[in-house]
Homo-oligomer: A and B are copies of this chain.
Amino acid sequence: MNMQNIVKLPERTLLGPGPSEINPRVLVALSQPAIGHLDPAFVSLMDEVKGLLRYAFQTSNRLTFPVSGPGSAGMETCFVNLIEPGDKVIVARNGVFGARMQEMASRIGAQVVTVDDEWGCAVDPNKIEAALRAHPDACAVAFVHAETSTGALSDAKTISEIAHRYGCLTIVDAVTSLAGSPLYVDDWGLDAVYSGAQKCLSCVAGISPVTIGDQALAKMKRRKSPARTWFHDLELIDGYWSEGGTRAYHHTAPVNSIFALTEALRLLKQEGLDRAWNRHQENSQQLVSGLQRLGLDMLVQDPAVRLPQLNAVRLPVDIDETAIRSRLLNEKNLEIGAGLGPLAGKVWRIGLMGYSSRPENVSFCLDALGSELGGAIQTAVGE
Q: Check if A45 sits within 8 Å of B228, measured CB to CB.
A: no
9-residue interface stretch from A14-22, A118-126, A179-187, A296-304: A14-22
Count residues of chain A with CB under 8 A from any CB of chain B. Answer: 79
A218 part of interface (Cβ distance < 8 Å) = no
What residues of chain B lie closer than 8 Å to A7, measured between beta carbons?
Answer: 29, 32, 45, 259, 262-263, 266
A39 part of interface (Cβ distance < 8 Å) = yes
Q: Check if A252 sits within 8 Å of B70, measured CB to CB.
A: yes
A229 touching B230 in the complex, CB below 8 Å, given contacts A12-B36, A33-B11, A254-B205? no
Q: CA of A232 to CA of B198 in the docked complex: distance in angstroms?
A: 20
Q: Name A250's closest neighbour in chain B (CB-CB).
A: B72
A227 part of interface (Cβ distance < 8 Å) = yes
Q: Check if A37 sits within 8 Å of B10, measured CB to CB.
A: no
Q: Check if A76 sits within 8 Å of B32, measured CB to CB.
A: no
Looking at the assembled complex, report how far the CB atom of A60 sits from the nearest CB atom of chain B, in whole angstroms: 24
Q: Check if B19 sits within 8 Å of A252, measured CB to CB.
A: yes
A103 part of interface (Cβ distance < 8 Å) = yes
Q: CA of A205 to CA of B36 in the docked complex: distance in angstroms?
A: 10
Q: Check if B259 sits within 8 Å of A9, measured CB to CB.
A: yes
Max chain B C-beta neighbours (<10 A), residue from A14, A22, A32, A42:
A32
What residues of chain B lie closer than 8 Å to A10, measured between beta carbons?
Answer: 35, 39, 41
A113 part of interface (Cβ distance < 8 Å) = no
A217 part of interface (Cβ distance < 8 Å) = no
What residues of chain B lie closer than 8 Å to A103, measured between beta carbons?
Answer: 230
Q: Check if A228 sits within 8 Å of B108, measured CB to CB.
A: yes
A21 touching B8 in the complex, CB below 8 Å, given contacts A70-B252, A107-B226? no
What residues of chain B lie closer than 8 Å to A75, measured between beta carbons?
Answer: 231
A231 touching B262 in the complex, CB below 8 Å, given contacts A1-B25, A19-B36, A255-B205? no
Interfacial residues of chain A within 314-335, with CB under 8 A of chain B in the complex: 329, 335
Interface string of A275-290 (1 = CB under 8 A from B): 0000000000000000
Looking at the assembled complex, report how far the CB atom of A154 sits from the nearest CB atom of chain B, in whole angstroms: 21
Q: CA of A287 to CA of B34 in the docked complex: distance in angstroms?
A: 23
Q: Name A329's closest neighbour in chain B (CB-CB).
A: B39
Q: CA of A232 to CA of B228 in the docked complex: distance in angstroms?
A: 12
Q: Check if A69 sits within 8 Å of B68, measured CB to CB.
A: yes
Q: Check if A198 sits within 8 Å of B6, measured CB to CB.
A: no
A196 part of interface (Cβ distance < 8 Å) = yes
What residues of chain B lie closer than 8 Å to A30, measured between beta carbons?
Answer: 30-31, 256
Q: Check if A19 sits within 8 Å of B255, measured CB to CB.
A: yes
Q: Name A7's closest neighbour in chain B (CB-CB).
A: B29
Interfacial residues of chain A within 240-261, with CB under 8 A of chain B in the complex: 249-257, 259
What residues of chain B lie closer than 8 Å to A29, measured between beta carbons?
Answer: 6-7
